[in-house]
Amino acid sequence: MRHLFERIGDYMPHKEEIHLPSCYRKKSLYERMAREFRERGKSENDIICYDYFIRLWKIHLPEFIISKESEFVKCRDCTELEEMRAKATTDHGRQRVDSLLRAHLGKVEMERKRFHYNRERAEREPEEILTIIIDGMDQNKTNLPHLHKEDKSTSNLFRLRTHITGAIVHTGVTGGKVPFVYVDVNHIPHDSNLTMNVLLEILKEVEKHLARVLYLQLDNCFRENKKQISSVTYAVVVQLNIFEEVYVSFLPVGHTHENVDQMFSKFHLVYKYQMPTPWMT
């Protein structure tokens, strides 16, 4: 169940929840899980019943929630299909839109599955592959000082623009992953320069875990990750024999929340409940 839910769910960066697509219902997720088991050759006796599925979900996987509405920017396809669904007047029409939405989400799932496969492979074969996911946290939440509650006298005060970049390195260490956090105060331009700086800092930190192949999972943002400087950096690390091959992957826009966002949700909790920064008072 967890594997299936992680493949189709979006990690929320501001709370400890993983949202499953709104086109699914609990019953349809159960049917999908049962179908996948059958396709893998499991017998009917090996497949749990629907009631037990619901009980396991409630007890062991409460962080997975079927979202009614996305709280973040959606991809254009999802938005159009959800509008079509809202306008559909018959069950047949709604079912047709749901099947189109599932087909679209199936493509997203394939991309996400590739990342999950590569991070599991990095844990199993650390000499062959090193998998790194890098993403930035919403800067509005990290500027300092951060106050638990704002009032008129504090809302217009100068804030030090502070930005957090998070990364998770998947390799053959205990637990299979190493989290990294980089804080900058806009002293590095927030474009490919920042991502490449963070990447090179990480590679220095994990130099004992370098592998033959580097697999990077980055945010699908042209400004940050698709500029010439990125390609040049990958070419240089290959030229210097740090890696033989470098692969870069991007999840589709609107479907980019991954395990690094789960890390941000923990920071968000700290920011939400912490007291005012001492030097503010």
Instruction: List contacts with Zn ion (CB under 5 A).
Output: 75, 77-78
| Shortest Å, Cβ 30 to Zn ion | 23
| Shortest Å, Cβ 112 to Zn ion | 12
d(CA 10, CA 204): 30
11 in Cβ contact with 18 (< 8 Å): yes
The amino acid present at 96, given as its one-letter code, is R
State CA 24 to chain mean position distance: 20
SS3 content of the chain, % helix, strand, coil (to 5): 50, 15, 35
Name which of 77 and 261 has its Cβ closer to Zn ion.
77
d(CA 38, CA 28): 15
| Shortest Å, Cβ 29 to Zn ion | 18
Name which of 14 and 104 has its Cβ closer to Zn ion.
104
Name which of 10 and 131 has its Cβ closer to Zn ion.
10
Q: What is the DSSP letter of 74?
A: P
| Ramachandran bin of 14, using left for φ above 0, alpha for ψ from -120 to 50, beta for the remaining angles | alpha
Q: How far apart, in Å, are the Cα atoms of 184 and each of 28, 142, 199, 256?
A: 44, 11, 14, 22
> Rounded to the nearest 5°, which phi and psi values hold at 48?
-70, 155
Helices (H), the chain: 2-8, 26-39, 50-60, 76-87, 91-124, 152-155, 192-205, 222-225, 228-239, 259-273
Name which of 77 and 98 has its Cβ closer to Zn ion.
77
Name which of 143 and 249 has its Cβ closer to Zn ion.
249
| Shortest Å, Cβ 78 to Zn ion | 3
| Shortest Å, Cβ 256 to Zn ion | 11
Name which of 10 and 77 has its Cβ closer to Zn ion.
77
